[in-house]
């Protein structure tokens, strides 16, 4: 950075008239910004940083042009106004601020008072032409190859980040035919970047010949990576980049996105690693938790008819319950006492002690040992890249196995308990007495029980609250106790249509997960044995019985338009129900290339873009190939709230119902009082 020795040093005694056009060495602190500089917009911070890095590495390659600052009487003030090179002056000042150079660092400058200062400043900015980006890309590559410098060192010498250097090096390595097309204006920078996602020159030429010079950048990128797996794929997120690379997999990094994503180049290896990791998780859970079996699947094997057992509340002594309650209160008290600065070290240590003490008491719910002996779990891979554990599954062949290993009666278990409860005491003696009498004829048994059924119906019709419980009882048996549907005397059939086979992944979406969470919460509260369900239901508050009814009823809803099961009247009523619920499908579904656009005609895609955006946007993508149009439509429609007609909800019509008269009002009030949810728990009348 030091100037040549023959340059003239500037001093206060120097005759200014003898220095016009001369080269001087001026201390940095005597250089000032010129008020006649044509550039009024300040230099960007990044530009000054780049200049500072370049000057630090190579010195000031082009001396600033200055004019002599003069006092009111025309004599030199000893300072110099920078006409051309203000950015270099600011970069030098930045280096001085960082103590990389002194404030009096010598700077070589050229004096020009012959030309108008404003004009030459304007000339400097207008007539200068920046080098073509392609030249810059290739120049960076040449520096890397000839000097052997890495991205970090090149970035430090040119004042740019190492990531920017890597991007320029990648673009500099693009096939020469594509660089030539970019120079000629036949390819845009976005297109060149799309080709540059891979450094495979042969593949770049193949795709260029395949798609031509007018393909949109996203179509080029997709063609360049069509045999690879995106880094945000659920399998890639589950396995992890580190494990994939450790197994010998190669990741094609995307240098031109902020997250650096990329593509995994070995799908077969990725599938194997994902399957092995799922299997390891399943086996670990089986050994740790004591299940009879465990399986791993990428997706849950719907339609296999698994039964289900659920965890039950752990029985605790009064002393243990009191201890746990005291620990919980102490925990809450410490959290409440924490100030704005957070927990103190003492409080944090105390919380850890309480956590450990609570864990020593174990969970509040657990599976019965006999249930563990006849059930298992399945581990699947969710769409978010996380493993999902479905516990307590019972295979069909195990459904009738004894739930109690010590059971002495063959086939006696939870299933048998529901239908063949063991008799004792008076019931046993009555059974022996009946055997001594002549059995009743089947016809008489039917006659008597028909009369009893009629009596039950009449009594139930007069007890709305008990009828509600009976309906919920029948539905809950079907939902939570597979195989025990016939245990309810009330013949209410709940038909549940499996949606996963119709739309894979639907149960992993927001709506499916919400239903699953509700079901798991209810299953944890309901009894293990179906014969105990009635007593539990009658003890629940009315509002909770209605909540359970709501959940069970929701599982029976089917608005699928199946061409093999045409139910136009039901479809119409489903629309009425959607309006009544103010259903907003944008909360649980969004149109993407995969979910919608790639599965419809081009005309429908253009119609969607027109509705969501405008006709101009639709016209812009009208010439795209189908897959390219689908991806473009996804980006254009995103965030607009657009939905296909089948997913839209009609607004509710204004309420036109007239006010009821006194008689009808009194009847409504009577009905409302008869089915008061707050009247629970029920007692037989």
- Give tens-digit pLDDT for 450-489: 777 777 777 767 777 887 888 888 888 888 877 677 778 8
Task: For residue 626, give the H/E element and its range.
Answer: helix 626-637
Are both 549 and 572 inside the same structural domain? no
Looking at the structure, do residues 580 and 637 belong to the same domain, yes or no?
Answer: yes
The per-residue pLDDT for 672 is: 39
Please tell me the least confidently modeled range out of 154-168, 325-339, 602-616, 645-659. 645-659
Domain-embedded: residue 260: no
pLDDT the model gives residue 377:
94
Q: Are residues 399 and 282 in the same domain?
A: yes
Residue 17's pLDDT is 47
**Residue 315: per-residue pLDDT:** 83
Q: How confident is the model at residue 274 (pLDDT cuts 50, 70, 90)?
A: very high
- One domain for residues 489 and 514: yes
Q: How many residues does the chain have?
A: 685
Q: What average pLDDT does the chain have? A: 79
**Same domain, residue pair 416 and 299:** yes
- One DSSP character per residue, 551-588 reads HHHHHT------TTS--HHHHHHHHHHHHHHT--GGGT
Of 96, 126, 156, the last residue of a domain is 126
Average pLDDT over residues 203-232: 82
- The DSSP symbol for 24 reads E
Element (H, E) at 90: helix 86-97
Residue 431 in this model has a pLDDT that exceeds 60: no
Whichever domain contains 83, its CATH number is 3.90.1530.10
Q: Establish if 632 belongs to a structural domain.
A: yes
Per-residue pLDDT band at 509 (split at 50, 70, 90): confident
- For residue 9, name the pLDDT band (cuts at 50, 70, 90): low
Q: Where are the alpha helices (DSSP H) in 290-367?
A: 318-337, 345-360
What single DSSP character describes residue 682? P
Q: Which residue has the higher pLDDT, 163 or 49?
A: 49
Point out the domain boundary residue: 423, 456, 471. Answer: 423
Residue 655, Cβ density class (10 Å: 0-12 exposed, 13-18 middle, ≥19 buried): exposed
Tell me phi and psi for residue 174, to 5 degrees.
Answer: -65, 150
Residue 244 lies in a domain: no
Q: In this model, does residue 684 exceed pLDDT 60?
A: no
Q: Which domain holds residue 455?
A: 446-554
Query: What pLDDT is recorded for position 278?
Result: 95
Decide if pLDDT at 5 tops 50. Answer: no
My answer on whether 451 and 307 are in the same domain is: no
CB neighbour list of residue 299: distance below 8 Å, 6 or more residues apart: 380, 381, 504, 505
Within-domain flag for 619: yes
- Decide if pLDDT at 320 tops 90: no
- How far is 517 from 535, CA to CA, in rounded Å? 24
Q: Which residue has the higher pLDDT, 20 or 527?
A: 527
**354 against 123, higher pLDDT:** 354
Domain co-membership, 277 together with 416: yes
Q: Is the pLDDT of residue 678 over 90?
A: no
Domain check: are 373 and 509 in the same one?
Answer: no
Domain-embedded: residue 35: yes
Report the DSSP pairing between strands 251-252 and 263-264. Answer: antiparallel
- The alpha carbon of residue 403 and the mean position of all alpha carbons in its chain are separated, in whole angstroms, by 40
pLDDT over 60 (residue 645): yes
Residues 27 and 77 in one domain: yes
- Pick the most confident of 94-103, 409-418, 564-573: 94-103
Together in a domain, 513 and 570: no
Q: pLDDT (tens digit, 9 = 90+) per residue, 413-425?
A: 343 343 444 444 5
Of 512, 530, 554, which marks where a domain is finished? 554
In a domain, 171, yes or no: no
Number of independent structural domains in the chain: 5
Segment 636-641 mean pLDDT:
92
Residue 670 lies in a domain: no
End-to-end CA distance of the chain: 103
For residues 279 and 387, membership in a common domain is answered with: yes
In this structure, is residue 646 part of a structural domain?
yes
- For residues 16 and 67, membership in a common domain is answered with yes
């Amino acid at each position: 950075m030091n100037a040549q020795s023959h340059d003239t040093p500037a001093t206060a005694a120097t005759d200014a008239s003898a220095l016009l056009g001369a080269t001087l060495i001026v201390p940095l602190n005597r250089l000032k910004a010129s008020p006649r500089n044509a550039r009024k917009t300040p230099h960007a911070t990044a530009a000054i940083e780049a200049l500072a890095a370049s000057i630090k590495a190579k010195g000031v390659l082009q001396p600033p042009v200055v004019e002599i600052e003069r006092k009111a009487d025309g004599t030199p003030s000893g300072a110099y106004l920078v006409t051309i090179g203000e950015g270099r002056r600011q970069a030098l000042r930045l280096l001085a601020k960082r103590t990389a150079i002194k404030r009096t660092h010598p700077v070589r400058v050229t004096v020009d008072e012959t030309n108008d200062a404003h004009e030459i400043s304007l000339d400097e900015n207008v007539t200068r032409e920046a080098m073509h980006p392609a030249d810059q890309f290739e120049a960076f590559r040449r520096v890397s190859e000839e000097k052997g410098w890495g991205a970090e060192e090149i970035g430090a010498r040119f004042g740019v980040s190492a990531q920017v250097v890597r991007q320029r090096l990648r673009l500099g390595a693009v096939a020469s035919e594509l660089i030539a097309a970019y120079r000629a204006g036949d390819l845009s920078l976005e297109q060149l970047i799309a080709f540059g996602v891979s450094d495979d020159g042969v593949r770049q030429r193949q795709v260029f010949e395949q798609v031509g010079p007018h393909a949109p950048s996203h179509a080029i990128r997709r063609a360049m990576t069509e045999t690879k797996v995106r880094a945000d794929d659920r399998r890639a997120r589950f396995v992890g980049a580190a494990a994939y690379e450790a197994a010998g997999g190669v990741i094609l990094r995307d240098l031109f996105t902020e997250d650096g994503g990329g593509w995994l180049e070995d799908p077969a290896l990725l599938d194997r690693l994902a399957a092995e990791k799922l299997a390891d998780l399943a086996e670990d859970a089986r050994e740790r938790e004591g299940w009879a079996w465990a399986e791993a699947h990428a997706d849950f094997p719907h339609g296999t008819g698994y039964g289900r057992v659920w965890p039950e509340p752990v029985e605790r002594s009064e002393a243990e319950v009191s201890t746990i309650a005291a620990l919980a209160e102490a925990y809450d008290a410490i959290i409440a006492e924490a100030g704005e600065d957070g927990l103190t070290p003492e409080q944090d240590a105390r919380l850890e002690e309480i956590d450990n003490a609570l864990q020593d008491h174990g969970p509040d719910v657990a599976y019965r040992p006999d249930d563990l002996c006849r059930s298992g779990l399945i581990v699947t891979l969710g769409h978010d890249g996380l493993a999902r554990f479905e516990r307590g599954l019972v295979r069909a062949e195990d459904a009738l196995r004894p739930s109690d290993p010590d059971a002495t009666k063959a086939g006696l278990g939870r299933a048998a308990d529901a239908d063949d409860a063991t008799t004792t005491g008076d019931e046993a003696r009555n059974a022996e007495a009946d055997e001594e009498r002549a059995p009743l004829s089947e016809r008489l048994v039917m006659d008597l029980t028909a009369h009893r059924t009629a009596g039950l119906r009449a009594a139930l019709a007069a007890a709305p609250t008990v009828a509600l419980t009976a309906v919920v009882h029948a539905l809950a048996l079907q939902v939570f106790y597979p195989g025990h549907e016939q245990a309810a005397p009330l013949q209410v059939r709940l038909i549940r249509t499996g949606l996963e086979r119709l739309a894979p992944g639907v149960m992993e979406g927001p709506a499916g997960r919400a239903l699953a969470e509700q079901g798991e919460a209810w299953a944890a509260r309901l009894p293990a044995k179906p014969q105990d369900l009635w007593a539990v239901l009658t003890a629940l508050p009315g509002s909770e019985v209605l909540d359970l009814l709501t959940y069970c009823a929701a599982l029976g809803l089917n608005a699928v338009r199946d061409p093999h099961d045409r139910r136009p009247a039901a479809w119409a009523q489903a629309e009425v129900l959607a309006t009544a619920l103010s259903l907003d499908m944008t909360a649980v579904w969004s149109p993407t290339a995969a979910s919608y656009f790639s599965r419809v005609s081009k005309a429908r895609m253009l119609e969607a873009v027109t509705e969501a955006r405008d006709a101009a946007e639709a016209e812009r993508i009208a010439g795209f190939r189908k897959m390219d149009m689908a991806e473009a439509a996804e980006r254009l429609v995103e965030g607009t709230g657009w939905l296909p007609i089948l997913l839209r909800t009609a607004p509710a019509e204004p309420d036109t119902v007239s006010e009821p008269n006194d008689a009808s009002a009194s009847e409504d009030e009577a009905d409302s009082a008869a089915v008061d949810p707050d009247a629970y728990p029920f007692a037989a009348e």
